[in-house]
Chain A
Amino acid sequence: GQNIDQPTEMTATEGAIVQINCTYQTSGFNGLFWYQQHAGEAPTFLSYNVLDGLEEKGRFSSFLSRSKGYSYLLLKELQMKDSASYLCAVRPQYGGSQGNLIFGKGTKLSVKP
């Protein structure tokens, strides 16, 4: 079956660094995505990894290890507006349904002053 695990909740302090982990077990692999979702809103794209290693984009970085079925999202210089749910999603196959994603349950991050 398809399974994506990430912590349910995390708390961090404004200005700090936080790492959100994600492990996955899927029938195939064609990329891993991180999305940010504020309450009552649709997800917004943060990052995409398809090869092993670190992808950096401003205050956000995402790491992937395909052999370990593991990824993390790193948020630096946390701001209050970063309080949101962070969704890890895996695209399990090439072509086919053109990008079908399987989502984890999301990690709710609370940033405290």
Chain B
Amino acid sequence: GAVVSQHPSWVICKSGTSVKIECRSLDFQATTMFWYRQFPKQSLMLMATSNEGSKATYEQGVEKDKFLINHASLTLSTLTVTSAHPEDSSFYICSASSAYADLQLITYEQYFGPGTRLTVT
């Protein structure tokens, strides 16, 4: 199957600093990438949808000025957590969407990256 990588896999930063997380589709071109956040014992919550070459679409309640998303190419999207605070500590997971034909419909499968664990001290 398709492979998606994330870097770094874990990061510890001080409160007030910014952290950049990269998401790459290694063997396919992803026109759409998704960014999720998962707190302990919680489900994945979609933060934003990122389309190559255009501005990201943020879910309700997610601050676009705090979580900067850039999707400059078909294989790379970045999430920058600006002025991080302890409450931003979470597991951040990206996924990349690939289109395929199924039952004569074009549908889209998501492939998840391994996740980035962010701890803000």
Contacts and interface: CB of A to CB of B under 8 A. Distances in A.
Does chain A bind chain B?
Answer: yes
Interface of A: 30-31, 35, 40-45, 48, 50-51, 87, 91, 97-106
Contact of A42 (B32, B46, B99, B115): B115
Contacts of A103: 43-45
Given A40-B115, A41-B114, A87-B43, 10 more contacts: A42-B112, A42-B114, A42-B115, A48-B109, A98-B31, A98-B108, A99-B97, A101-B34, A104-B43, A106-B43
B67 interface: no
Given A42-B115, A45-B1, A45-B111, A97 B49 contact: yes
B110 interface: yes
Interface residues of B, number: 28
Listed from nearest, the 10 A-B pairs whose CB atoms lie closest are A99-B108, A98-B32, A42-B112, A105-B43, A42-B115, A97-B49, A103-B43, A103-B44, A99-B97, A98-B108
A43 B120 CA distance: 24
A50 B103 contact: yes
13 contacts: A40-B115, A40-B117, A43-B93, A50-B102, A98-B32, A98-B49, A99-B97, A99-B109, A99-B110, A100-B34, A101-B34, A103-B44, A104-B43
Nearest to B32: A98
Interface string B10-51: 000000000000000000000110100000001111100101
Interface string B93-121: 10001010011000111111111010000
A100 B43 contact: no
Contacts, number: 61
Contacts of A43: 44, 93, 112
Contact of B57 (A97, A99, A101): A97
A103 B97 CA distance: 16
A51 B45 CA distance: 26
Contact of A50 (B42, B107, B112, B113): B107
A42 B6 CA distance: 11
A42 B42 CA distance: 13
Contacts of A45: 1, 109-112
